[in-house]
Amino acid sequence: MTEFNITILGSNSAIFNHGRHPTAQVVNINNACFLVDCGEGTQERLYENKIKWFKIDHIFISHLHGDHYFGLIGLLTTFNLLKRTNKLTVFGPKELKKIIDIQLKVSNTKMNYELKFVATKDDEKRLLLDLPECSVYSIPLHHKLPTTGFLFAEKTEPRLLDLEKIRKYAIAKTDFKLLKQGLDVLDKDGRKVKNSAVTTKGKTPRSYAFCSDTMYHIPLVKAIKNVDLLYHEATFLHEDLQRAKETTHSTALQAAQIAKKANAKKLLLGHFSSRYIDLSVLENEAKTFFKNVELAIEGGVFKV
């Protein structure tokens, strides 16, 4: 089965504390690496987690609170110092381009590689990237600043040919492509061959949703319906709901409620407040409402 996993580089909120770092993670699909958020220190975290830097061709920034992107300019310029030549695309709020441009300008940095910027919008679910192995969408979240999550969805796999059964019919090899697409075909005598008679279902495509930062946001459910793995922020315990509302964040219980409503297979909690040293309290709270919960512990690799 194609590799599809998430490596957590940082999952603390706001500041570095208790050995936990600000938000960053790597989504690996079939050896293509996507960096999601880039908090301060992400370069070191990539190194420590033995991520092959040059496999990263796309970086996604959710919003412009510093704990989600203050590591970006360092990483971009390190790529330059390491003589990167292949194109890199950064997706993020439109103001991010101005920030990158001014930092490169005042430091008189000339890039060796093409740096493309794509502005995200937080109004509706939008397709950002369409690759052979997957599609990446931005999904609107509800936070103090314009913020998007990201949904990584494998492509629908073609139907599989059952060669044993195909041999019983006189089907032209040129029609195999149509069969893989799920279409019926005619045999050489002009008789219809039903697709289901000679093919079986391809692999079920998997998906991963990254949702940080956001307060409890019901419209999110539709955008991530039936997701296999959901990373949802759980900055606070529900006893701190008032603080969560003031800061437009979520509680662990609310993250579990979103996971259940979305029919997610598994929930990964992250963006932990520094007020919690032992994170099991957040995990236990979420588990009271949704069974399949794990903490996004740094260095952890989670299969989708």
| Residues classed as catalytic | 67
Q: Is the dihedral of CA 53, 54, 60, 64 positive or negative?
A: positive
Rounded CA separation 288/251 (Å)? 13
Neighbour tally for 81: CB within 10 Å: 9
Distance from C-alpha of 271 to C-alpha of 239, rounded to nearest angstrom:
17
Name the residue with the smallest CB distance to Zn ion. 65
- Helix ranges (DSSP H) in 22-94: 42-48, 72-81
CB 275, min distance to Zn ion, A: 16
Between 236 and 290, name the residue whose CB sits nearer to Zn ion. Answer: 236
Residue among 28 and 212 whose Cβ is closer to Zn ion? 212
- Shortest gap between Cβ of 17 and Zn ion (angstroms)? 16
CA dist 187 and 280 (Å) reads: 61
Binding pattern for the stretch 127-146 against Zn ion, x by CB under 5 A and - elsewhere: --------------------
Q: How far is the CB of 246 from Zn ion (least distance, A)?
A: 13
Q: Binding segment for Zn ion among 78-86, 121-129, 209-217, 290-298 (CB under 5 A)?
A: 209-217
Give phi and psi for 249, each to the nearest 5.
Answer: -120, 180
DSSP-based three-state secondary structure for 144: coil
Name the pairing type of β-strands 32-38 and 160-161: unpaired
Judged by beta carbon, residue 213 or residue 298, the one nearer Zn ion is 213
Q: Does 65 bind Zn ion (CB under 5 A)?
A: yes
Would you count residue 271 as binding Zn ion (CB under 5 A)? no
State yes or no: residue 213 binds Zn ion (CB under 5 A): yes
Size of the site for Zn ion (CB under 5 A): 2
The binding site for Zn ion (CB under 5 A) comprises 65, 213
